Amino acid sequence: MSEQSSQRIRIDKWLWAARFFKTRSLASQAVDGGKVRLNGERPKPSKEVKVGDRLLIHIGGYEWEVTVAELSDKRGPATVAQALYVEDEASHAKRQQQVAERKLQADPGQAIKGRPTKRDRRQIHRFTE
């Protein structure tokens, strides 16, 4: 990791090192696709970030608002990756609320598990007759 605030690193490389994406190519595709905003603007994957830059990252149904705290071009453990950014309190609270709402929603895939069992067939026959 680097302690120099004047040093810069590519945004796709930083997103990969901060563990927002599994590969650099996925990070690059997300930046190209408009899923990442740098200081309110839509950057290219080669755009360089520096300490203090604000990022808005959309992944799936979730949204992160983070400030770059440190720079790194190497992917390390999750604890080290979390030290690379500081997430806004509002962003964290909103994401936790989304997680809670998704847990409460019923999973449509759990209702039907395949062919009916013998017990299920008997209940179907009772209902239809």
35 phi, psi to nearest 5 deg: -85, -10
20 phi, psi to nearest 5 deg: -80, -25
Q: Is residue 96 part of a domain?
A: no
How does pLDDT run across 19-48, given as a tens digit for each residue? 999 999 999 999 999 999 999 899 999 999
As for how many domains the chain has, the answer is 1
Identify the H or E element spanning 57: strand 54-59
Burial class (CB in 10 A: 0-12, 13-18, 19+), 121: exposed
* Tokens coding 13: 């490389």
Q: Is residue 48 part of a domain?
A: yes
Enter the pTM of the model.
0.74
Q: Is residue 24 part of a domain?
A: yes
How far is it, in rounded angstroms, from Cα 48 to Cα 118?
A: 62
How does pLDDT run across 53-100, given as a tens digit for each residue? 999 999 988 899 999 999 988 999 999 999 999 999 998 999 899 888
* Alpha-carbon 128 to chain mean position: 47
Domain that holds residue 1: 1-89
